[in-house]
């Protein structure tokens, strides 16, 4: 593109942050995540010129690939899933020259010795300087074994500033309840110090999620009204139109609470409710987020019917086509009670938020994919222009996380003409229009941060633990809930019970 024809706001958008030389090892290198997210993200970093020049990737999995066939397989994956198309052959060629593969088993220490040899080769041929970035794209049950073998093979080092470093990135889910997460944390800490650990929640890598902090702490006009004196309630919705697809077996283990609430929704809630950190560094930001999680009033197991809704999709329609019920999906029990939808009413018991409900809802097979945080302000103290009903009654600030990323403010305006008719209008900010640039994928940002050593957008051990404690209590309550979940038609906005949860307080879900 001719620089003079660039969108004016896109100038200066390029970050000058470049990763440190390192070799990245991907455990689970032949899996779905590597194909759809990790390799495309690395390629895009390379395309943006921010991948370190001295960089190598060593894939590790049990499938039999040669170095050549792994490169071919990944080229196909990147060509299909990269956000920027078509594939740039030259950039791919440079990137692929540093792409290696080790076929091995997690049980077998000799496989880790092979990995060690591949990494030493990378140091010599690619100049990766002994720096290691391990990525566990595997289920949490396998992670302890990997950690043990890494340590036994002498692959982990942390000799201090200026010396070769090792870091580990752990994919979600991080455990499946409080106890398992604690056990996993203990295994991790036997081998790595917390400062070397990067627990991924890809929502934190989304531009709009990071912008929440800029919006709140980079402007002076919102802070004075961001509290219980002005806010009536907050809604957080993460809706997906897809069903569980081929992940029936995983979903039967996880369900919506573990898959979406413990991590993504809790992150959105803490960023919305947190106090300003003292600095934009990893510890300061995460300290404030943990304080919010600790202030959330736990929903006790005997209270789940009052504060939560547990839904599951029944047959319905999806984009005009018939959609199967969850119980009819592959590898799902015919009488499964697993939730594919959850709605929660939570309170954050601190000075800022006392008495302000936070309504959360998330589900599969809803009418569309949309994630939004909306802050609903209090009603007018006095109805000067007549009683305002429904939507018109409150100002709403909506932060659209995805898609159509942006922020909109709803307020009332005079309808042109004689008389004093009032109507609700929106003031909109749209990312795409304002910056003329497509935001990078969350994984790009997170991988780059881990290469730089910035853990701000990763989840700390105490954060994970606090979120699990809240969710585990609800999971226990749901286990004891004797009835089936509330069914909802695929393609609808969830069960009636979700409307009732918010309706009982005289409020309603925002129409999205």
- Cα gap 325→483, rounded to integer Å: 18
269 vs 60, 229, 252, 356, CA distance in Å? 36, 19, 26, 13
- Cα gap 287→315, rounded to integer Å: 44
* DSSP annotation of 328: G
Q: Which residue has the tokens 């709803």?
A: 410
Task: Output 73 or 240, the one with its CB closest to ligand BG6.
Answer: 240
Task: Output 207 or 240, the one with its CB closest to ligand BG6.
Answer: 240
Q: Is 175 buried (19+), middle (13-18) or exposed (0-12) by CB count in 10 A? A: buried
Task: Output 165 or 493, the one with its CB closest to ligand BG6.
Answer: 493
Least distance from ligand BG6 to the Cβ atom of residue 255, Å: 10
- Whether 264 sits among the annotated catalytic residues: the reply is yes
Catalytic residue, from 189, 264, 319, 376: name it: 264
Residue whose C-beta lies closest to ligand BG6: 259
CB 230 within 8 A of CB 395: no
Least distance from ligand BG6 to the Cβ atom of residue 126, Å: 31
Three-class DSSP category at 266: helix
Task: Output 243 or 277, the one with its CB closest to ligand BG6.
Answer: 243
Task: Output 73 or 372, the one with its CB closest to ligand BG6.
Answer: 372
- Cα gap 383→502, rounded to integer Å: 24
Task: Output 113 or 210, the one with its CB closest to ligand BG6.
Answer: 210
Task: Output 23 or 170, the one with its CB closest to ligand BG6.
Answer: 170
- Number of Cβ within 10 Å of residue 350's Cβ equals 16
Least distance from ligand BG6 to the Cβ atom of residue 129, Å: 33
CB 344 within 8 A of CB 261: yes
Least distance from ligand BG6 to the Cβ atom of residue 247, Å: 7
Least distance from ligand BG6 to the Cβ atom of residue 308, Å: 19
* DSSP annotation of 459: B
Least distance from ligand BG6 to the Cβ atom of residue 505, Å: 27
Task: Output 318 or 411, the one with its CB closest to ligand BG6.
Answer: 318
- Cα gap 99→126, rounded to integer Å: 10
Contacts of 329 (CB under 8 A, 6+ apart): 243, 244, 248, 251
Note the residues at the interface with ligand BG6 (CB under 6 A). 240, 259
Least distance from ligand BG6 to the Cβ atom of residue 259, Å: 5
Three-class DSSP category at 413: strand
Neighbour order of strands in the sheet with 341-347: 422-430, 406-414, 396-402, 370-377, 231-239, 357-363, 341-347, 308-314, 486-489
Alpha helices for 301-426 (secondary structure H):
304-307
Alpha helices for 153-245 (secondary structure H):
178-191, 207-217
- Cα gap 385→375, rounded to integer Å: 23
Query: Hey, which residues are catalytic here?
Result: 264
């Amino acid at each position: 593109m001719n620089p003079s024809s660039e969108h004016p706001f896109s100038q200066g958008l390029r970050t000058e942050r470049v990763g440190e030389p390192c070799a990245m090892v991907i455990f689970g290198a032949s899996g779905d995540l590597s194909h759809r997210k990790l390799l495309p993200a690395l390629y895009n970093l390379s395309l943006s010129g921010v991948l370190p020049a001295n960089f190598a990737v060593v894939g590790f999995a049990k499938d039999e690939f040669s170095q050549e066939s792994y490169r071919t397989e990944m080229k196909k994956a990147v060509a299909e899933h990269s956000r920027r198309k078509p594939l740039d052959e030259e950039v791919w060629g440079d990137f692929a020259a540093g792409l290696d593969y080790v076929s091995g088993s997690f049980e077998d220490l000799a496989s880790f010795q092979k990995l060690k040899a591949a990494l030493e080769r990378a140091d010599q041929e690619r100049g990766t300087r002994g720096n290691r970035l391990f990525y566990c794209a595997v289920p949490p049950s396998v992670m302890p074994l990997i950690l043990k073998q890494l340590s036994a093979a002498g692959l982990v080092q942390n000799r201090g500033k200026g010396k070769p470093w090792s870091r580990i990135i752990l994919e979600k889910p991080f455990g499946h309840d409080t106890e398992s997460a604690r056990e996993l944390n203990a295994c991790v800490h036997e081998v790595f110090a917390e400062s070397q650990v990067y627990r991924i929640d890809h929502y934190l890598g989304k531009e709009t999620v990071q912008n929440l902090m800029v919006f709140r702490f980079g402007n002076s006009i919102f802070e004075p009204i961001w509290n219980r004196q002005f806010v009536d309630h907050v809604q957080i919705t993460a809706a997906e139109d897809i069903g569980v697809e081929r992940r029936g077996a995983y979903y039967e283990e996880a369900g919506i609470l573990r898959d979406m609430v413990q991590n993504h929704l809790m992150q959105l809630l803490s960023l919305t409710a947190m106090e300003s950190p003292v600095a934009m560094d990893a510890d300061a930001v995460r300290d404030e987020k943990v304080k919010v999680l600790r202030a959330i009033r736990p929903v006790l197991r005997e209270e789940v019917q009052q504060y939560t809704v547990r839904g599951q999709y029944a047959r319905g329609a999806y984009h005009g086509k018939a959609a199967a019920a969850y119980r009819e999906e592959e590898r799902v029990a015919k009488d499964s009670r697993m939730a594919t939808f959850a709605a929660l009413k939570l309170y954050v018991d601190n000075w800022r938020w006392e008495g302000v409900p936070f309504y959360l809802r998330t589900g599969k097979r809803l009418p569309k994919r949309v994630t939004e945080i909306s802050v609903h302000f209090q009603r007018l103290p006095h109805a000067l222009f007549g009683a305002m009903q429904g939507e018109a009654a409150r100002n709403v600030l909506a932060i659209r996380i995805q898609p159509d990323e942006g922020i909109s403010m709803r307020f009332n305006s005079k309808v042109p003409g004689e008389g004093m008719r009032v109507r609700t209008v929106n003031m909109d900010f749209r990312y795409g229009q304002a910056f003329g640039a497509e935001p990078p994928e969350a994984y790009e940002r997170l991988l780059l941060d881990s290469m730089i050593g910035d853990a701000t957008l990763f989840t700390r051990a105490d954060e994970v633990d606090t979120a699990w404690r809240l969710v585990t209590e609800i999971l226990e309550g749901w286990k004891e809930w004797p009835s089936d979940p509330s069914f909802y038609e695929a393609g609808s906005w969830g069960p009636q019970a979700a409307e009732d949860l918010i309706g009982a307080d005289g409020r309603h879900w925002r129409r999205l």
